[in-house]
Structure 1
Amino acid sequence: MRGPGDLNLSDRLSGLAPRWIVEVASAAACVAGAGVLRLTVELFTAQIAPFVFVAPAVLAATLLAGWRAGLGALSVLLIAVWYSILPPARFGPLSADDGAAMVLSAFSALLVIGLAEVFRRVASAAGDDRTAKLEVRDLLLRELNHRVKNNFQMVASLLEMQRRRAVDPGTEAALADALRRVHAMGQAHAYLYSPSDAVGAIDLAAYLRDLCENLADSLLLTGAVRLTCELETGSMSRDRAVAMGLVVNELVTNAAKYAFPDDRTGTILVRLKRIEIGLELTVADDGVGMPPDAEIKSAGLGRRLVESFARQGGAILTRAEGPGTRHVLVLPDG
């Protein structure tokens, strides 16, 4: 959102044209605007005060390009009024009343120029102060995000150390699950607080593509089991996209663990496509489906996480069996 100080064309166009050219052009534009406005009003009435449009034109010129532009517009307008409006025309001698009116109009316009210039400088100083505060805020946010990222890495390192020391296979598997979730949360944080200029929106396809690559590496999905991504571009808010990424992380992990026992070959598919009401996100596999023991486990933390993240992302989650397992999330626009 621009403030009043952003009207300063002399500074905003400094890289395109010298300051004096901007000032002259601004004064000329305001003078022309005053002339066009006067001619338009004269189509409806001839009873117009000679100096009625001087102050507005001078004010506009000063706000746009500074006091020199305002003073130039004032000079041209006074000369134009004397030449073409005040009787007798063409710089004839003025009556006492007309001369006094011109002097008073010039004095009033000079006062307008002074006040407008003060306003411009105060607004510019306020804008500079606002910019400085925003830069400090961005610096603090970057530092905070850097510390949070380091904390995620530290937690992941501790979990990895405990996983390697674990003797019980169940404990090792639980720590591996926790480690993958920490990695997913760390990646989600990176996307959620990305320094992108996009206002709260990211490309869900790009996010999921990176996520799938990381999952394929962390789950060692090579050779027998492949992770395939078919992703159409779809923009959505960062918090919804991150929630969908966490859902995909859980579902792909479950498929890799349960759908292909005994070195069975197969494919895990992550597909994002646009439908009439929004986006449809599918995570499916062509494995053996969810066996009874996995059904019991799926009712635990992983299943609750999937349902919670789906609700957080405003998605409608459905599940189908055979062949393999298929989860479909419908993401309505908005």
Structure 2
Amino acid sequence: MLGLGDLNLRARLAPGTPTWVTEWVCASICAALAGLLRLGLDMMLPAPPPYVFLFPFVLLATLLAGWRSGLIALALILLGVWYMVLFHARFGPLDSSEGAALALNALSGAAVVGVAQAFRTAYAQVEAERAAKLETRELLLRELNHRVKNNFQMVESLIDMQRRRAADAGSEQALGDALRRVRSMATAHAYLYSPDDAGETIDLGAYLGELCENLADGLLLSGRVRLETALGACPVGRDRAVAAGLVVNELVTNAAKYAFPDGRAGRILVSLRDDGAGCSLTVADDGVGMAAGALATSRGLGRKLVEGFAKRSGGTLVRNEGPGVSHTLVLPH
């Protein structure tokens, strides 16, 4: 929907067009439209009021190009009324009633110009205050994002330091898993909550592509295990994208840890497609698979996190048949 700022011709045409040109052209067009409509009304009514279109077009000229344009339009319309209506095809002396009516309408038109200009001024002040508040808000948001980013980096450093000092393999593995989760959340924050992109939805495919690049680096996959992607465009809400990214983080991490034991070669594929009704996000590997009954008896943190993130995303997580392990998260639109 257009606001008054979008209709401000002086601001929109400047500096290419001089202000006085915009004012005169706008006033002339408004006066011409008033005259044409008055001529059309003559064909339908026997004696239409002479000033019927005065105030609407004076108001329009003022709103579009300012008070000078409104006064010019007022003068042109009054001259047109005098020439076309009061004395056809010529200017002539007015009697007392016609002169009083012309003067009264001139004063009323001037009052309309004044009110319209006051509205323009008030609107401009409100827009300036709004712009200043938005600028302040953007600065605060940038500062907040910068602090959050620094906090994520600090947490990552602390966890990594503790992981390096872990006394046993189990602790080191748990801290490594925690480190990857924190990095996944940091990536989500950096990608999804940038003040430069304030839309409510983002492209899940683009976000997951960046996430998978970071995962491939963080998991230190060997050349025999590849992390591949086939990601189409899929617009989703920001919170849903974060949850879906955390699902991918857990599933890819589990595949990298358990699907390829003893130096086995293979690949992990993350794919995303939009079928119209929703988005289907699949994480699959061609590894050794899971033992029969392992899924039913699993109570690990990873599985709980996957189920929780899938629920938070508003989607349904299903396990697919395959030579390895494959899960699909269906995200309805």
Normalising by the residue count of structure 1, what TM-score does the alignment of the two structures yield?
0.94
1:201 aligns with 2:178: no
5+ unaligned residues in a row in structure 1: which ranges?
none
3-state DSSP of counterpart to 2:239: helix
3-state DSSP of counterpart to 2:279: strand
3-state DSSP of counterpart to 1:170: helix
The answer to whether the 8 A contact 2:145-2:194 is kept is no
Q: List aligned pairs for 1:116-265, cutoff 5 A.
A: 116-197=116-197, 199-265=199-265
Q: Distance in 2 between matches of 1:310 and 1:296?
A: 18
Report the CA distance shift for 1:198/1:134 in structure 2 as closer, same or farther (over 3 A). Answer: closer
Amino acid in the other structure paired with 1:79 = L
3-state DSSP of counterpart to 1:85: helix
Deviations 1:61-119 (A, max 9, x none): 11111111101111111111111111354112222211111111101111111111111
The answer to whether the 8 A contact 1:232-1:274 is kept is yes
Amino acid in the other structure paired with 1:51 = Y
Report the CA distance shift for 1:177/1:43 in structure 2 as closer, same or farther (over 3 A). Answer: farther
The answer to whether the 8 A contact 1:67-1:117 is kept is yes
- Count matched residues: 333
**Residue 81 of structure 1 aligns with which residue?**
81
The answer to whether the 8 A contact 1:5-1:120 is kept is no
Report the CA distance shift for 1:53/1:273 in structure 2 as closer, same or farther (over 3 A). Answer: same
**Residue 286 of structure 2 aligns with which residue?**
286
Following superposition, the deviation at residue 293 of structure 1 comes to 9.9
Amino acid in the other structure paired with 2:194 = S
Report the CA distance shift for 1:276/1:118 in structure 2 as closer, same or farther (over 3 A). Answer: closer
The answer to whether the 8 A contact 2:35-2:80 is kept is no
Normalising by the residue count of structure 2, what TM-score does the alignment of the two structures yield?
0.94
**Residue 270 of structure 1 aligns with which residue?**
270
Q: Which moved more, 1:173-182 or 1:188-197?
A: 188-197
Report the CA distance shift for 1:197/1:35 in structure 2 as closer, same or farther (over 3 A). Answer: farther
Amino acid in the other structure paired with 1:187 = T
Q: Distance in 1 between matches of 2:225 and 2:28?
A: 72
Amino acid in the other structure paired with 1:173 = Q
3-state DSSP of counterpart to 1:166: coil
Q: Distance in 2 between matches of 1:122 and 1:128?
A: 10
How large is the Cα RMSD of the aligned pairs? 2.0
**Residue 25 of structure 2 aligns with which residue?**
25
Amino acid in the other structure paired with 1:201 = T
3-state DSSP of counterpart to 1:322: coil
Q: Distance in 1 between matches of 2:69 and 2:26?
A: 7
5+ unaligned residues in a row in structure 2: which ranges?
none
Q: Distance in 2 between matches of 1:108 and 1:240?
A: 58
Following superposition, the deviation at residue 200 of structure 1 comes to 1.3
Report the CA distance shift for 1:146/1:182 in structure 2 as closer, same or farther (over 3 A). Answer: same
**Residue 37 of structure 2 aligns with which residue?**
37
Q: Which moved more, 1:158-167 or 1:85-94?
A: 85-94
3-state DSSP of counterpart to 2:44: coil
Amino acid in the other structure paired with 1:102 = L
The answer to whether the 8 A contact 1:27-1:70 is kept is yes
The answer to whether the 8 A contact 2:138-2:195 is kept is no
**Residue 57 of structure 2 aligns with which residue?**
57
**Residue 98 of structure 1 aligns with which residue?**
98
**Residue 14 of structure 1 aligns with which residue?**
14
Report the CA distance shift for 1:298/1:140 in structure 2 as closer, same or farther (over 3 A). Answer: farther
Q: Distance in 2 between matches of 1:19 and 1:147?
A: 46
Following superposition, the deviation at residue 298 of structure 1 comes to 5.0
Q: Which moved more, 1:280-289 or 1:298-307?
A: 298-307
Q: Which moved more, 1:82-91 or 1:322-331?
A: 82-91
Q: Distance in 2 between matches of 1:238 and 1:290?
A: 32
The answer to whether the 8 A contact 1:289-1:321 is kept is no
Report the CA distance shift for 1:35/1:317 in structure 2 as closer, same or farther (over 3 A). Answer: farther
Following superposition, the deviation at residue 314 of structure 1 comes to 1.8
Percent identical pairs in the alignment equals 59
Q: Distance in 2 between matches of 1:148 and 1:222?
A: 32
